[in-house]
A and B are shown apart, each in its own frame.
Chain A
Amino acid sequence: MDLSDFAADVGDSGPVTITGLGTRGGPVADVRCVRAPAGIDWIQADEMIVSCGAGTPVAELDAALAGVGQSVALPLSGTVGGALAIGRSSHRRLGDGPVRDVLLQTHYVSAAGEIVKAGGPTVKNVSGFDLCRLLVGSRGALGFFGDVILRTRPLPAVSQWFHREGDPWEVFAALYRPVSVLWDGQATWVLIEGHSIDVAEQAARGGLRPVDGPPSLPTGGRRSMAPSALRTLSGTSGFVAEVGVGVVHTIEPSGPEPLQPAVAALHRRLLHQFDPGGRLNPGIDVGFGSV
């Protein structure tokens, strides 16, 4: 399927929803459903960029990139388009950066059924307003990703998880750019990557011993806290916190955060500009209740 077929599928009238692999909530119920083009168009290892359809499974992309010693900072489940539409990073965000910084260019299909380009193909670009950042995390309410150009990163020589009992604060302060620091109130897990001797020296510095992998992350809820506020979780349990980032994976479900009224009004104006008829993913929650 090419982009124009996808645009024709989305059309210009009537409610429409989109799905990838359904790992992040799937399509809106009882609404005509479309899928974005899938497949890798090209990998340019020397430019550290990759182009693919938004319907491409992240795992497929990841495997292909591993072949040239690179990866992309998206969580490994579902499709590329789904990962970008939700915009949530994996537990590697401390080292890899947030999902929102991965997207360089996209052709998306607008509510009017048009193919629209946002961003540009180079790793550095400030040509006009940063529409790509607005689209990442907007849950398909402003447009449906068709194809994308993503920034890649080199795979490290060595990647090793470590563990120690107790709080993470000293370890976090002592280590140089660990990729992930997780804490469950009792113990700390750290992912360190790089040259093997550096990794060993960092581990020694943090008083860490190797483990097979990270703890399993609770899936009941996901809270967003200022990294400085994580200390308030001391003495509690039922969570795994991403230290230095502030994402807290909880057993208990977490509630939505209210938006400031003027910010909610700005959301409504954006939705009105991009999708005046409210036809894209109707009813989806973009942060202040259903649209």
Chain B
Amino acid sequence: MTALAEPTLVDDLVHALGPDRVRVGAAELSLYRRDASNFDGHASVVCFPTSTTEIQAAVQACVRHDTPYVARGSGTGLAGGATPLAGAVVISLAKMNRILAVDAAARQAWVEPGVLNLDLSKAVAHLGLHFAPDPSSQQSCTIGGNVANNSGGPHCLADGVTSAHIVAMEVVLPEGDIVTFGGEDPEPAGFDLRGAFVGSEGMFGIATKICVRLIQNPPAVRTMLLDYMSVEDGAATVSAIIAEGMVPGALEMMDALCTRAVEEYIHAGLPMDAAAILLVEVAGLPNALEHEVERIVAIGRAHGARNVRVAQDEAERALLWKGRKTAFGAIARIKPNYYLHDTVVPRRKLPEVLNKVYEIAARHDLLVMNVFHAGDGNLHPLLVFDKREPGVMARVHAAGEEIVRASVAAGGVLSGEHGIGLEKRDYMPLMYDPPDLAAQASMRAAFDPTGLANPTKVLPSPASCGDVQHLPEGVWI
């Protein structure tokens, strides 16, 4: 009698999910080798669960076979969070995309993690509600990915980032237990595990259901465009608006190169010769708005705004926003590749750090454009290049590292919304000392005693110890 062969990991996954939803073909696996970052890994299997119990079974199978796994939403992450390393299993949440329940009176909704961000806001629009976090990728990113990365967007200035809009989630913990963190109620007993889970980049378990807070659509909105002959004047306007006690719904800035690229692309009437333009949107009740518009216009003029354009109707407002939202498309016409950075600096340091960014890019012979969330000091320097040019990637990475260092040196932080993932893992010591990092490692150890949930992300490898860009084995840029 021959002994039965032990079932393999793939056998176990097929047993739990069925053969159709467990894929091992090379062509398919290659689609999942990375997210929207430049970090390539390698997946051994991709599976598509459709329920919490299937996710649990998949996680348990990975644990049984001592194989790491990576939760994946839409793969739009920019820090390599969803890149599978060392032949990890990719657990795609794409098929779990149902809105489960909407309570319009309580302004809460339960959704599956694969629901797309914009789909949720569209689905509740008829109730006069929306989901506040609005990343530029909102047409394609998932709520689960937003939770894992604690994502932001232009309108998070007034309303807060994802963490402020998540009240509860069901999670499959790395050891396989199904738990609920947080609650529909405001003060669930115990630690704020909900808050700890948001931003954990897939390393604390997999969110299988999420309860979000929906907020009322504002009764009135006013959108303005101000343009400047210097970046300093635009940045000073930003600080002055906040210092005067106003928190606009959104406060976005584009620099000269970006403005020109966008104008040539969409012809929205943006000033081609401006050094910087500010897009300011205020939202709320009508009388407060009129007052705020007046004050913002006055502040803008006092800080050297040449023109102030206040959108007269919804069509003009949409046109102004289209300029902001198509920046990426416009840039693609200049050079085929870009590397988008994401750091935060104190608002008052914006001019200083922007000038450093220009200087760094020039020194590395690269083009840089800036289109960013000025209201919360969230810089997005965008290095544009053609990767066929020999040696260009080395320059892109060297410039990127200098930008991150300059931001932290100015009293800022490593990331405002894209997260750490692989990209900034080894920059963490720029911001945190060993005891600080040890505390973060303690959180990880408590949530994931198995160490199999998306390992080697976020926390710097002990070996790298302050050196940057020691990529884990099997990854390349």
Binding site for B on A (CB under 8 A): 44-48, 69-70, 87-89, 93, 97-98, 100-101, 110, 112, 114-118, 120-131, 133-134, 136-138, 142-143, 153-155, 157, 169, 172-173, 176-177, 194-198, 201-202, 222, 224-229, 242, 244-247, 256-260, 262-267, 269-270, 272-274, 286-288
Which stretch in B134-142, B224-232, B242-250, B320-328 binds the other chain?
Answer: B242-250
Q: Which of A128, A172, A262, A264 has the most CB of B within 10 A?
A: A128
- Quick one: CB contact mask for B429-447 with A, threshold 8 Å, 1 for yes? 0011101111110111111
The answer to whether residues A201 and B439 also contact, given A128-B428, A269-B449 and a CB cut-off of 8 A, is no
* B156, closest chain A residue (CB): A124
The answer to whether residues A259 and B190 also contact, given A127-B414, A130-B196 and a CB cut-off of 8 A, is yes
9 closest Cβ contacts across the A-B interface?
A133-B195, A287-B190, A154-B245, A262-B177, A46-B243, A226-B184, A198-B285, A273-B442, A224-B187
B438 / chain A contacts, CB cutoff of 8 Å: 116
**In the complex, how many angstroms separate the beta carbon of A244 from the nearest chain B beta carbon?**
7
A266 touches B173 (CB 8 A): yes
B417 touches A256 (CB 8 A): no
B183 touches A224 (CB 8 A): yes
Scan residues 387-439 of chain B and give those whose CB is less than 8 A from a CB of chain A: 411-420, 424, 428, 431-433, 435-439
B443 touches A129 (CB 8 A): yes
Interface band, chain B: 35 or more
Q: Report the separation of the CA atoms of residues A134 and B445 in the bound assembly, to the nearest whole angstrom.
A: 14
Q: Report the separation of the CA atoms of residues A183 and B432 in the bound assembly, to the nearest whole angstrom.
A: 46
B415 touches A117 (CB 8 A): no
B84 at the interface (CB under 8 A from A): no
A48 / chain B contacts, CB cutoff of 8 Å: 242, 247
A195 touches B447 (CB 8 A): no
A70 touches B443 (CB 8 A): no
A263 touches B190 (CB 8 A): yes
B189 touches A257 (CB 8 A): yes
B188 touches A176 (CB 8 A): no
**In the complex, how many angstroms separate the beta carbon of B178 from the nearest chain A beta carbon?**
8
**In the complex, how many angstroms separate the beta carbon of A31 from the nearest chain B beta carbon?**
21
**In the complex, how many angstroms separate the beta carbon of A205 from the nearest chain B beta carbon?**
11
The answer to whether residues A263 and B420 also contact, given A122-B376, A169-B105, A269-B446 and a CB cut-off of 8 A, is no
Q: Which of B186, B216, B420 has the most CB of A within 10 A?
A: B186
B466 at the interface (CB under 8 A from A): no
* A108, closest chain B residue (CB): B439
B126 at the interface (CB under 8 A from A): no
